Amino acid sequence: MNHETPAVVADGLRKTYGRTHALDGFDLTVPAGSVCGLLGPNGAGKTTAVRALATLLRFDGGHARVAGYDVTRDPERVRAAIGLTGQYAAVDETLSGRQNLVLFGRLRHLPVRVARRRADELLDQFGLADAADRSAGTYSGGMRRRLDLAASLITRPRVLFLDEPTTGLDPRSRNGLWDAVRSLVAEGTTVLLTTQYLEEADQLADRISVVDAGRVVAEGTSAELKARSGADRIELVVRDAGHLPAAARVVERVAGAPVTLDREIRQLSAPVTDRITALADILRALRDAEVPVEDVVLRRPTLDEAFLHLTGHRAAGARERAEVAA
């Protein structure tokens, strides 16, 4: 595989369970050596996509190549090139940490001695040397997840799938895992990461694919996605909640977009396209309408808002309109 060949290509993957389309034309391209974040809510199809790409799940339609090999026709070559760390630590809980790593090394067809040496190296690297001979069932959640990640790295994978790797971890363990992922990437491993945490995608991923209802609905860098979700927002605080309806009418007319109200803090907000002009126009219009303004701020959308915008557009829009009407 040369560097022009993408590490992961999914082309129109489909997977149906009864009437549910878990994957519904899932397209994805991950360049070699990069980190791709699959971002989406529970049930969006992220895990299904990873399981399909990691040869664990047969899909009903479409094509996929991982590390240059066809997932359906050449699954064994794919398996030799990948590592997979799932949501739930996939280790043998009866065996010790060391026995686990030696076992997985031997099943990767390393000679016994090499498998043992590699197990020791990984136990050291992941801070598990002290617990190496305890059964994995006695490990804490963070230790188990580290063992699980170590098990994916016995031979350095060309493509590493991380399915919600930090779900349920405390911040310290999470940071440790992030560091481990970064150093792998520095050595040239391609990482496909699924996460529900925007922060995680923001921290680790070069590019983010937003997944919803079994397909990728948006793709880009974190900054691009923020920009694409529109629009900056203007937020205004009026002196008195009684002024809100009048202010909302004015802002809606000038900004040409639905307005969100929060009576508790006497705030209204609206998306704006041309920041400075909009700011000047809205303030002038409010002064003309004699609505006293206490505070005003312009801000860029968070990735959270981008996400909401990209996956739950209609629902969010409907709620905003309902609030304006109220």
Partner 1 sequence: MTAGRLGWAITDGWVMTGRNMRHVIRSPEEIVLYFSLPIMFVLVFGYVFGSGMAVPGDGSYREFLLPGVFVMTMLYGLGATASQIAVDAGRGVVDRFRSLPMARSALLTGRAGADVLRALLELSVLVVCGLLVGWRWRDGLGDALLAVGLILLLRVALTWVGILLGLLVPNPDTVSVIVFPLAFPLTALSNVFVAPELLPDWLGAVAAWNPLSATVAAARELFGNPGIGGDSWAAQHALLLAVGWPVLLIAVVAPLAVRRYQRLSR
Please name the residue ranges forming H helices in the chain.
Answer: 46-53, 75-81, 97-107, 112-125, 141-152, 171-186, 198-204, 222-228, 244-255, 275-288, 303-311, 313-325
CA–CA separation, 304 vs 320, rounded Å? 16
Q: By C-alpha distance, which of 122, 111, 124 is closest to 151?
A: 122
Of 12, 24, 63, 95, which lies in the binding site for partner 1, with binding defined by CB under 8 A? 95
Of 27-35, 56-64, 252-260, 297-305: span binding partner 1 (CB under 8 A):
56-64
CB neighbours of 106 closer than 8 A, spacing ≥ 6?
Answer: 112, 115
Q: Which residues are bridge partners to 9 per DSSP?
A: 29, 65
CA–CA separation, 313 vs 228, rounded Å? 13
Report the nearest approach of partner 1 to the CB of residue 108 (Å): 6
Q: Residues 246 to 265: which contact partner 1 by CB under 8 A?
A: none
CA–CA separation, 36 vs 212, rounded Å? 16
Report the nearest approach of partner 1 to the CB of residue 178 (Å): 22
Amino acid at 8: V
Q: By C-alpha distance, which of 66, 19, 72, 14 is closest to 45?
A: 14
Report the nearest approach of partner 1 to the CB of residue 11 (Å): 20
The footprint of partner 1 on this chain (CB under 8 A) covers a number of residues equal to: 31
Of 34-42, 82-90, 224-232, 313-321: span binding partner 1 (CB under 8 A):
82-90
Of 61-69, 96-104, 192-200, 222-230: span binding partner 1 (CB under 8 A):
96-104
Does position 287 interact with partner 1 (CB under 8 A)? The reply is no
Does position 169 interact with partner 1 (CB under 8 A)? The reply is no
CB neighbours of 214 closer than 8 A, spacing ≥ 6?
Answer: 15, 21, 22, 23, 24, 25, 26, 44, 45, 48
CB of 113 or CB of 314, closer to partner 1: 113
Does position 282 interact with partner 1 (CB under 8 A)? The reply is no
Report the nearest approach of partner 1 to the CB of residue 33 (Å): 21
Does position 73 interact with partner 1 (CB under 8 A)? The reply is no
Q: Which two tokens mark 295?
A: 């505070």
Of 33, 70, 90, 116, which lies in the binding site for partner 1, with binding defined by CB under 8 A? 90
CB neighbours of 80 closer than 8 A, spacing ≥ 6?
Answer: 108
Q: Residues 128 to 157: which contact partner 1 by CB under 8 A?
A: 135, 151
CA–CA separation, 114 vs 181, rounded Å? 23
Report the nearest approach of partner 1 to the CB of residue 15 (Å): 10
Of 12, 70, 72, 80, which lies in the binding site for partner 1, with binding defined by CB under 8 A? 80
Does position 86 interact with partner 1 (CB under 8 A)? The reply is yes
Q: What are phi and psi of 127, to 5 degrees?
A: 65, 35
Report the nearest approach of partner 1 to the CB of residue 197 (Å): 21
Q: What is the DSSP string of 90-116?
A: -S-SSSBHHHHHHHHHHHTT--HHHHH
Does position 56 interact with partner 1 (CB under 8 A)? The reply is yes
Does position 107 interact with partner 1 (CB under 8 A)? The reply is yes
Of 3, 41, 58, 168, which lies in the binding site for partner 1, with binding defined by CB under 8 A? 58
Contacts with partner 1, residue ranges (CB under 8 A) = 51, 54-58, 76-77, 79-80, 82-84, 86, 88-95, 99, 103-104, 106-109, 135, 151
